[in-house]
Chains A and B, each alone.
Chain A
Amino acid sequence: MLEATPTPPGRLRRAARELARAALPSVAPILTSLLVCFVAVAALRGGVAVAVDAFLAMTWGAIGDVPRLLEGASVAVLLRPWGESATKAALLTLTGLSVAAAFRVGLFNIGAQGQLMVGALAAAVVGAAVELPAALHGPACLLAAALAGGLYALGPALLKLSRGVHEVISTIMLNWVAVALIENWLVPGPLRAQVGGGNSVAGTAQIHETAELPRLVGEVSRLNAGILLAAGAAVVLWLWLARFVGGYEWRAAGLGPEAARAAGIDVRRTVLRAMLTSGALAGLAGAVLVLGTEQRYPATLGAPYGFDGIAMALIGQGHPLGVLATSTLFGGLRAGGTRMQLFGVHKSFPELIQGLALLLVAARLVWTKLADRWLPAREGGP
């Protein structure tokens, strides 16, 4: 069977079609969830007009207040929301990539939250206790956080390989170990910040300015380098999986462990490396939280970004760029969601949208069937 070499526009159209096919099981649930939530707001909060206003408010809160900019307000009405959206997007992306990296070798790392916490603590300690020039201090904190998170994930990986302990059990238990160790003991105890005059504040000592993540547009917005780090990590992980022999081995080990072993792939080493990477990415998320926003390890971390990472990985179908896109969307929705309070909608509403989308993504068969109907794959593939 001879295939004519597709002309460039033909190839482009084919690539677009394949992209649409691949993205549909993520995009369709998100759109459905948004629609359902829109209808819910309209039904419960006084009609379609209110719902439109509430969703517009969320949108401007996410991508910047375009109407006010057009009315002549300063560019800050764009930059400030960007900062909030990007901060949340960076955390979701890194924890999402953490879960996705483990997924791709067939492991379910539920421990991103615990790994994030030890990473955050490592960044807080190195940021406060060590004095280094700015060019080195930030990277040193990030490295410490990645190492701490990676090592925290290594235990479950070793237990799985040597004793067959299921990683879901071990990682979820280590989440609580991290809470007990860090938030119940170290942070309120030995590592508690001492402020002059015998007073103390909740949390660890404030990090040095040299350790802070650089702000990208000055003091007007909290937009910092965290989002660049997260996006970079997504691209690197994508390239690794798609273009490198080592990433091919990860995918083979994840999709067909027995076939991978028979083909001479060292599946155990692959699993170890992927779990280290997974933990390191969650650790980096902790560092971004501390170095970018909190400037210390606070009394409690608050938002469970590690668990949100599971949602991001699932909605993004484990694809690094899918995770980045999903996290960017939900980071924005969460930042903008606070503005819905003006319309009587609780600020946790975006989490509802996320949860519903997650439920719908789980109905994967529905979406792949739709993809087959709307965008049938051609023989000969992408």
Chain B
Amino acid sequence: MPTIALRGISKRFGSQVALRDVSLELGRGERVALVGENGAGKSSLMNVLYGLYAADTGEVRVDGRPARIRTPADALALGIGMVHQHFTLVPTLTVTENVVLGREPTRVGQLDLPRARAEVLATCARFGFALDVDARVDALTVGSQQKVEIVKALHRGVSTLVLDEPTAVLTPQEADELFTVTRRLSDEGLTVVLISHKLKEVLAFATRIAVMRRGEKVAEVRPAETTPESLAALMVGPRGPRPASVKAAPGPVVATLHRVSAGRLREVSCAVRAGEVLGIAGVDGNGQRELAEVLTGMRVPDDGALVVLGQRGALTPGRARALGVRHVPEDRLRHALVTDFSVAENAALGRHRAPPFAAGARIDVAGRLAETQALLDAHDVRPRAPHLRAGALSGGNQQKLVVGRELAGAPKLLVAVQPTRGLDLAAVDAVRGRLLDFRAGGGAVVLVSLDLDEVLALSDRLLVVHDGRVTGEFPREAFDERVIGRRMLGVLDA
């Protein structure tokens, strides 16, 4: 008998159907993967299970009895825990303090820290986690922070653990470790639900795979019975072939850095050429963000020499733009879009002073509208609604808008940071296709991504950064995931 059964779950948000009559059973010790595109309903379904959303219809049964899960506290009481994509840790507290948060052992109303520490150590030991329980969470790597999240759930005594996109920010080694640990826990009886985009890891890890599409469960398969291709086909339905990768023909140098230091970035030298994609691989927070900011004029280097498209010295965002530098920033909601602006107003951002967006000092409303319509058509941004608030677009369509805008007007250098993060497969393909088209047309691309697969798939040349320094440079022929992974962790000898 399944320990948890979701039956006929439906959920609407306004006129949008998030879940339609979805049923899913979870047996004790099973490792069930939920795959599907963004907005397919994976996270919504698990949020229903975890008490974050109330389902419109349907029921959840735990051990055969109907369960009323209205809040995460209800879910935890039933032994259901969830680790979110965005961690819910307090950065300035220690591991111990974070783990016991919400269920602190107290003595006369005060936190009993020695007892809390002992309890957390016991949990770590029992489940085989090596964690420094006294370390402040903000001093830990992302991989360790994720372990803290898992320990936090286990400490509450959960018997079912939902992991939402757990490997999005991990190195290959960290991801391997996560799966090793999780597999052992499931052998000991923990039920694990894995939400993921990455079919490779799903196939390696899960004992059962549920595929969702547009709010419905379209298939349930065993890993042995399927392939990545057929899973992808189930997720998205039929679609066109991926753009063929043309061999790069690098042209002249468009930007050089000579011993540039900025924030965490330390004495980095490199050159970017026209007609190539230069990938920057590294674990989050090792200086790659600063590198992108220096190139786009968002940050003035502390030291070193910078030449961008023939201009020496420090840039401002405005001057970089005027030279032909464009930027697809990591945080599109903060740095690329004004979410309360309309789609058309956002299409103008950065180009708003020149025709067709402006006529002298005035906004050319008609010109802007026509240009926006063309942009939405060319990049298949849905819906084709220039007057819609940009914040109301889905993440994938926001990103298509940003990429389309930044590639318009014949730029020379595109700095793209995490350009496909959080997008569904169709949108990922669209965005990657645009980057490769731009490169094929002689543009230079600097691609910063924490997703190693992405960097490997798109780059003609790869720089690995660790602790602010370049720890490796590889031409496409020499890409080796293992070697690169070690360099990302600062291990130089192969």
Interface residues of A (CB under 8 A from B): 1, 3, 242-246, 248-249, 251-252, 255-256, 258-266, 379-382
Decide: A380 and B383 in contact? CB cutoff 8 A.
yes
Which among B47-55, B341-349, B474-482 touches the partner chain?
A: B341-349
Q: Of A242, A243, A259, which is within 8 A of B349 by CB?
A: A259
In the bound complex, what is the Cα–Cα distance between A263 and B298 (angstroms)?
A: 10
Query: Which of A242, A243, A244, A256 has the most chain B CB atoms closer than 10 A to its own CB?
Result: A256
Is B384 located at the chain interface by the 8 A CB criterion? yes
Is B336 a contact of A262 with CB atoms below 8 Å? yes
Residues of chain A lying within 8 A (CB to CB) of residue B316: 264
CB closest residue in chain A, given B377 = A1
From the candidates A244, A252, A264, name the one contacting B317 in the complex (CB within 8 A).
A264
- Contact, CB under 8 Å: B362 / A244: yes
Q: Are A266 and B318 in contact (CB under 8 A)?
A: yes
Q: In angstroms, how far is the closest chain A Cβ from the Cβ of B7?
A: 31
User: Does B337 make an interface contact (CB < 8 A)?
Assistant: yes
**Do A259 and B345 touch (CB < 8 A)?**
no
Residue interface bits B319-348, CB-to-A below 8 A is 1, else 0: 111100001010000111111111001001
A3 to chain B minimum Cβ distance, whole angstroms, is 8
Which of B363, B385, B388 sits near A248, CB closer than 8 Å? B363
Question: Which of B298, B348, B350, B385 has a CB less than 8 Å from the CB of A379?
Answer: B385
**Chain A hits for B318, CB < 8 A:** 264-266
Contact of A262 among B327, B339, B383, B387 (CB under 8 A): B327
Indicate if the CB atoms of B388 and A262 lie closer than 8 Å: no
Q: Judging by beta carbons under 8 Å apart, are B384 and A1 in contact?
A: yes
- Given A245-B361, A248-B363, A263-B321, 17 more A-B residue pairs with CB atoms under 8 Å apart are A243-B365, A245-B352, A245-B362, A248-B352, A251-B341, A255-B338, A256-B338, A258-B335, A259-B338, A262-B327, A262-B329, A264-B318, A379-B388, A380-B385, A380-B387, A380-B388, A381-B385
* Interface 1/0 per residue, B138-182 and A, CB below 8 Å: 000000000000000000000000000000000000000000000
Bound Cα distance from A242 to B341, whole angstroms: 12
Smallest CB–CB gap between B360 and chain A, Å?
Answer: 8
Nearest A residue to B337, CB-CB: A259
Chain B residues with CB under 8 A of A251: 338, 341
- Nearest opposing residue in chain B for A3, CB measure: B384
Q: Are B321's CB and A264's CB within 8 A?
A: yes
Q: For the complex, what is the distance from the CA of A260 to the CA of B327, rounded to whole Å?
A: 13
**Chain B contacts for A380, CB-based, 8 A:** 383, 385, 387-388
In residues 285-306 of chain B, which contact A (Cβ within 8 Å)?
A: 296, 298
CB distance from B44 to the nearest CB of A (A): 21
Expressed in whole angstroms, the minimum distance between the Cβ of A369 and any Cβ of chain B is 11
A245 close to B363 (CB less than 8 A): yes
CA distance A380 to B384 in the complex (A): 7
Q: List 15 A-B contacts (CB under 8 A).
A: A243-B365, A244-B361, A244-B363, A248-B363, A252-B341, A255-B340, A256-B340, A256-B341, A258-B335, A259-B338, A263-B317, A263-B352, A264-B317, A264-B318, A264-B319
Residues in B with CB closer than 8 Å to A248 are 345, 348, 352, 363
Contact B338 A262 (CB under 8 A): no
Q: How many residues of B contact A (CB 8 A)?
A: 39
Query: Which residue of chain B has the shortest Cβ distance to A265 in the bound complex?
Result: B318
Is the C-beta of B358 less than 8 angstroms from some C-beta in chain A? yes
Chain B residues lying within 8 Å of A262, measured Cβ to Cβ, are 296, 298, 317, 327, 329, 335-336, 350
Q: What is the minimal beta-carbon distance from B316 to any residue of chain A, in angstroms?
A: 7
Pair A259/B317 contact, Cβ less than 8 Å: no
B434 on interface, CB distance cutoff 8 Å:
no
The 10 closest A-B CB pairs, nearest first, are: A381-B387, A264-B318, A256-B338, A263-B350, A263-B349, A264-B321, A1-B384, A255-B340, A262-B335, A255-B338
In the complex, residue of chain A having the shortest beta-carbon distance to the beta carbon of B316: A264
| Cα–Cα, bound, A3→B388 (Å) | 14
A3 surroundings in chain B (CB, below 8 A):
384
Do A252 and B387 have beta carbons less than 8 Å apart? no
Task: Give bound CA distance, A261 to B363, whole Å.
Answer: 19
In the complex the two chains form, what is the Cα distance from A248 to B353 in whole Å? 10
B404 at interface, CB cutoff 8 A: no
Residues of A within 8 A of B385 (CB): 379-381
Cβ–Cβ contact A260 & B338, under 8 A: yes
Q: Please measure, in the bound complex, the distance between the C-alpha atom of A259 and the C-alpha atom of B389, giving whole angstroms.
A: 15
Which residue of B is nearest A247, CB measured? B363
Contact A256 B358 (CB under 8 A): no
A residues in contact with B275, CB < 8 Å: none
Complex Cα distance A91/B47, Å? 52
Check A381–B388 contact: CB distance below 8 A.
Answer: yes
B386 within 8 A of A: yes
Q: How far is the CA of A262 from the CA of B329 in the complex (A)?
A: 9
- Report whether A259 and B336 are in contact in the complex, using a CB–CB cutoff of 8 Å: yes
How many whole Å from A366's CB to the nearest CB in chain B? 17
